[in-house]
Amino acid sequence: MDRQEHIHIVSAGEHIHEVYAAAVRDLQKITHTYVFADTDLYTNLVRDNERAKAYKTAAREAVNHLRTHAAFLKIPAHLVYIGSPALDSVVQAIIKIVSEHPSATYSFDLTAGSKDLSLALSTISLWLGGEAYYTFFDQKRDGSPTLLPVPGPVVGNMQSNKNYGRILALLYRAPGKQERSPRLLSRAYLYTQLESFYVPVRKKGVRSSATPSRKGPAIPRLSQGTFTTLLATMEAGNLIRQEPGPEKSRREKYFRITPAGELALLLAETKPRKQ
């Protein structure tokens, strides 16, 4: 079976070869690399001062190092010049790449390049459903590519459906604690923990699944079907992901919170609830 193509798109600039080395180490699925570079980077302008000239020289050398590294790993690396306006130029380049690799998946590194180029690539990453990375360097110029969390559409319902938040909170921290301690939890455990606190979301024309009580109002019941829908929606929204569990529990599904899920939870807990 042929390996699925994965396109890794990098914005050109200083130290990008170092970032790329970490990317190919962590993202072993990369099959093709495209380096998007502002045309100004490869143009010597009269207005360039010494600092600009030094930057351009360093950036070009970094791109050369990147391409040499890619060649050693037998990963095709192409240099793509991006003119102005950057978004239009990026869209044209992306359309060409997609037409040549229709079944590929994508990732983007936004660490280097101009603000216009980074913004354009960030926008395209959302349209293609690609992963966007950025490297935050410390004072020693050390750093590794960090996946930028991009919550899916389900985040808009976090306030109206409290069950999303409860599931994320279970995966984010142990009960009774505030500090971050992400956990890998089974579907059965999540169901048991949510069942007692389940809050039904009323929909017009849908009959309630509440259990009638003789002494008071009906007690809402969490059905397995509803719980499956909650998990599937959160997984599609990039809030949680399914992962392999312990060897003895191969038939059970296990879930972990994603970086996007952590961000969504913290924002939901911080934002005041609607009255």
| CATH number, domain containing residue 74 | 3.40.50.10770
pLDDT value of residue 214 = 55
Per-residue pLDDT reduced to its tens digit, 190-249: 999 999 889 987 654 434 455 555 555 556 789 999 999 999 999 988 899 999 888 766
- One domain for residues 24 and 66: yes
Domain limits at 233? 153-270
198 and 120 fall within a common domain: no
Count of structural domains, the chain: 2
Query: Given 117, 147, 177, which residue is the final one in a domain?
Result: 147
Determine, yes or no, domain membership for 42: yes
pTM above 0.75, yes or no: no
- 126-181 pLDDT, tens digit per residue, is 888 889 999 887 766 667 788 888 777 676 677 778 899 999 999 999 877 878 88
Determine the average pLDDT of the residues in 29-57: 93
182: in domain: yes
Which amino acid type is present at position 160?
S
Q: Is residue 275 part of a domain?
A: no
Co-location of 69 and 170 in the same domain: no
Comparing CA positions, the residue from 45, 48, 77, 82 lying closest to residue 63 is 77
Same domain, 237 and 181: yes
What does the H/E/C string look like for 150-194?
CCCHHHHHCCCCHHHHHHHHHHHCCCCCCCCCCCCEEHHHHHHHH
pLDDT computed for residue 209 by the predictor: 52
DSSP state of 36: E
